[in-house]
Amino acid sequence: MKCDFAIVGGGLAGGLIALALAKMRPELKIVLIEQGDSFGGNHIWSYFASDILPEHRWLTAPLVTYGWSGYEVRFPAHSRSLDNIYYTIESERLDWVLRNSLPASALMLGREVKAVSPRLVVLDGAQRINAGGVIDVRGAGDLNHLDCGWQKFTGQLMQLSEPHNLTKPIVMDATVEQFDGYRFVYVLPFGMDKIFVEDTYYSDTPAHDPRRYRQRIAEYADTKGWKVERVVREENGVLPVVMGGDLENYWASGSGRTAKAGARGAFFQAVTSYSLPDAVRNAIFIAEQPDLDGDKLNMVMRQRAQEHWQNGKFYRMLNRMLFRGADVSDRYKILERFYRLKPGLIERFYAGKTSPGDKARILSGKPPIPIGKAITAIRSKKK
């Protein structure tokens, strides 16, 4: 089989690349390859309107299933409503849009990838796809090359027997009892009687216990007086919160000289593990390239990853302060303080566009952790 461009991995990053190419480069024959039986897997992705440049919003607009005019955060000593528009994309919608935007011949599901190189993909059954260029977006590479804390979660979309009366998402509810690091509950109101509740932890270990998290979700719903009829869907995840590491070896671990995007190329915001803004920027960038030759694309994406890594230095420092400078029971205080800052600063932080002035403001004033511990944490490196 021959094509102009092969995308290995049909999750969010791969799907956005395919959609951008279909719109901007319709003359190209592309192939999107996914191991599962649907594109996008079982995921819910959310983002702020300010995360996406106005000229790029055409790419995400068809994928949105819910939107709200603002959101809330809740902490023991501080609660706040912010006006930034918030959107949610469900994986089922991504799957539908891909199937209706690309020809059936471009979509390959249920296929295991055995090997990739800059111009070749080998599938199960020894089928070979010869391409002008290949990009690998199958998920994280070897995380042993990175110094990580962990964001882990279980989320459930629940059908209620009565309206929940929420009008805005609660992006962080840290008024809950703290366990296993910094814990908060994330809440998305879907319609009048459906609600997505996610129990989330910033933890020192990747150990994930869905049974216990389900119990805590049920307890949270009970405290709010929500009568749950059934659980419609459940999502589980463990994401790296990067504090440092070796980008070069991490890049090489994920299919060597082949171009990479998404988590496989370390394209995510280090504090939030938030990948959608970078996925949009990379999809547009790739579609704009005059030459999608596999070797050339690997060079430009590797350079792009290095620039992204350099720009993330401040965020990785904040992660070291969170994980190594604060006592486990006090980690929430760092976020509580952060959410007292100006809305524009918070918007730029989520988008990964923190300015020098923002950085100075985040670090100024009395910190919520001892200065000595903060300095030690900043200087710490993975042993």
CA distance 255 to 258: 6
Any idea which residue has 């309206």 for tokens? 163
DSSP 102: S
Any long-range contacts for 244-248 (C-beta under 8 Å, 24+ apart)?
Answer: 244/146, 244/147, 244/316, 244/320, 244/381, 244/382, 245/145, 245/146, 245/147, 245/148, 245/382, 246/145, 246/146, 247/145, 247/305, 247/306, 247/309
- CB-CB neighbours of 13 under 10 Å: 29
pLDDT value, residue 364: 85
Question: Residue 377's pLDDT is what?
Answer: 61
Q: What is the pLDDT at residue 271?
A: 94
Listed in sequence order, the residues at least 6 apart from 221 whose beta carbon sits closer than 8 Å to its beta carbon are: 158, 195, 197, 228
Terminal alpha carbon distance of the chain: 46
Other CB atoms closer than 10 Å to residue 139's CB: what's the count? 14
CA dihedral 321, 325, 327, 333 (to 10 degrees): -40
Which uninterrupted H or E stretch holds 306? helix 294-311
- d(Cα 34, Cα 355) in Å, to the nearest integer? 37
- Return the bridge partners of 146, or none: 245
Q: What is the pLDDT along the chain (383 residues), one digit of tens a residue?
A: 999 999 999 999 999 999 999 999 999 999 999 999 999 999 999 999 999 999 999 999 999 999 999 999 999 999 999 999 999 999 999 999 999 999 999 999 999 999 999 999 999 999 999 999 999 999 999 999 999 999 999 999 999 999 999 999 999 999 999 999 999 999 999 989 999 999 999 999 999 999 999 999 999 999 999 999 999 999 999 999 999 999 999 999 988 899 999 999 999 999 999 899 999 999 999 999 999 999 999 999 999 999 999 999 999 999 998 998 888 888 899 999 999 999 999 999 999 999 999 999 998 877 666 556 666 666 666 64
- What is the CA 57 to chain-centroid distance, rounded? 17
- Cα–Cα distance, 132 to 61 (Å, whole number): 30
pLDDT reported for residue 45: 97
**Assigned token pair, 93:** 């919608």
The alpha carbon torsion through 304, 278, 21, 93 (nearest 10 deg) reads 160
Rounded to the nearest angstrom, the gap between the alpha carbon of residue 155 and the centroid of all alpha carbons in its chain is 15
Residue with tokens 């690349």: 17
Q: Which of 290, 292, 260, 296 is nearest to 278 (CA)?
A: 260
Residue type, 19: L
Q: How far is CA 303 from CA 124, 340, 353, in A?
A: 31, 36, 18
Domain boundaries, the chain: 2-68+87-144+243-311, 147-241, 313-379
Q: What CA–CA distance (Å, rounded) separates 189 from 163? A: 10
59 bridge partner residues: none
How far is it between the farthest Cα atoms of the chain? 62
Q: Which of left, alpha, beta for 380 (phi over 0: left; psi -120 to 50: alpha)?
A: beta
Beta partners for 130? 2, 120
Second-level CATH architecture of 147-241: 2-Layer Sandwich (3.30)
- What does the pLDDT read at residue 355? 96
Residues 6+ apart with CB under 8 A from 128: 1, 120, 121, 122
Q: Do domains 2-68+87-144+243-311 and 147-241 have the same CATH topology?
A: no
CA distance 56 to 53: 5
DSSP state of 268: S
Host H or E run for residue 267: none
Q: Which residues contact 291 (CB under 8 A, 6 or more apart)?
A: 297
Kindly report the CATH class assigned to 2-68+87-144+243-311: alpha beta
- Please classify residue 202 by burial: count the beta carbons closer than 10 Å to its beta carbon, then call 0-12 exposed, 13-18 middle and 19+ buried: buried
pLDDT given for residue 329 in this prediction: 84
